[in-house]
Amino acid sequence: MLHDKTTHQASKATQQNLTRQVIRGACVVTLIGILLPLFVFNSILSVLFIRSPLKKQKWIDIGGGVVELYVWQAGIFKSSAVLINIMFDDIHFVGTPIIWGQTSVPNVRRFKSPCAKAGAFDCLQLHRLTGLVAGDIPSLLAAQNAQSAAKDFAMVLKILVCRCIYQDGGAKKAQSAVFGIPFENTKMEDAVSWVCAPHTHEHYCQVGYFLNANSINLAANEVALRKALIQSNKNFADGSGMRLAARHAGINLADNINGTDMLPVLCSKAVETGSSFFLLGGKEGIAEKAGKALEARFPDLDIRGTHHGYFQDDSEIIEKINNSGATILLVALGSPRQEMWLAQNRHRLDCRCALAVGGLLDFFSGSIPRAPLWMRELGLEWIWRLIQEPKAKFNRYVIGNPVFLFRVYVLKQSIRGL
């Protein structure tokens, strides 16, 4: 019985590989046919410059293996010659990530990838374009290796779309600003390390906010909120809107630092560092449900207390937070109330760090489902939020997003000096 099952699995895997090869071959032939005039043009141009049309460049894949790829020596769209490598099965359309930009083989630690060969496209490219943090590299590549040819094709399309929308803005500045509001351009692990840091040299609670299109719109009309954002200890760029704004401001963003993707990473780090939480916000019972869900997922997590967001007496809540001994406070009161509340009360809080996290507790309590991964990969989670809460989110997204895009357009023109 076990032998039959193993044989069936092997047969299924062989069939999937054969299907991939057929589809890959058909795609290569089609693309080469479409690009044939360009190939002829590049070849003629190379001959005129007395060069061979093609040359090979050496790259490495994520495992440290050498990958030799063709490139046109003259003409346009020079990297299109990689289709020849795919046609000869030197590499795949989708496979092990190639470390583009290296012209020599550096001494790197080898990374064991489940993918058989390097690929022109991979899931890490997609996540890097949108700044998505949705799992560790081995897990992402294992899932990529197991996906169907149709999903390979969909992933390539998503990468091409995201390259058009979220292409690099320019320099990688650690500390940047858009619309006059500063933010940290950082990786997720660095942001989490800051939240869990002792902050013993500080005299009051450190405050972090997540900057997104909505908070930028609100800050444009509310002076007090703008002041609070400017005076925070850290602001993190959150969402596709901020990525677009940064691109037009000449800034190449690192990770998309949003509270929902941060929390699982933060919980793991909190267990490691001995940090503890207090959850404040949401409707009656939401914070408590979120706390229980997080403790079930992270058994050693220390959640000292929870409270809903419908309170009148600040002093009573602050006393409860301080008496809990929690080192990290998550405030989910919605914008701009949560930012204003922290700005007004940070000097009264004994916790080391506090974050304004919006609807985070709703997600982790299970009351509102998270957007599917494919929507998050394209930076379209806001559409999912709008579908879930059309009345509550109408102004924020249907009206707010076009307003924000107009602000981005004005920002771009001002930078260009027009």
pTM of the complete model:
0.85
Give the pLDDT means over successive 10-residue stretches in the chain (418 positions): 53 64 76 88 88 89 86 90 89 87 47 70 91 87 87 90 77 75 94 94 91 95 95 94 87 91 96 97 96 96 96 95 97 96 96 96 93 91 93 94 90 66
Instruction: Give the distance, in angstroms, between the CA of residue 74 and the centroid of all CA atoms in the same chain.
Output: 36
Q: Which helix (H) or strand (E) holds 279?
A: strand 276-281
Q: What is the DSSP string of 195-241?
A: HHS--TT-SS-EEEEEE-HHHHHHHHH-HHHHHHHHTSSEEEE-SHH
Cβ atoms of 94 and 119 closer than 8 Å: yes
What pLDDT score was predicted for residue 356? 97
The three-class DSSP label of residue 286 is helix
End-to-end CA gap in the chain? 74
What pLDDT score was predicted for residue 390? 94
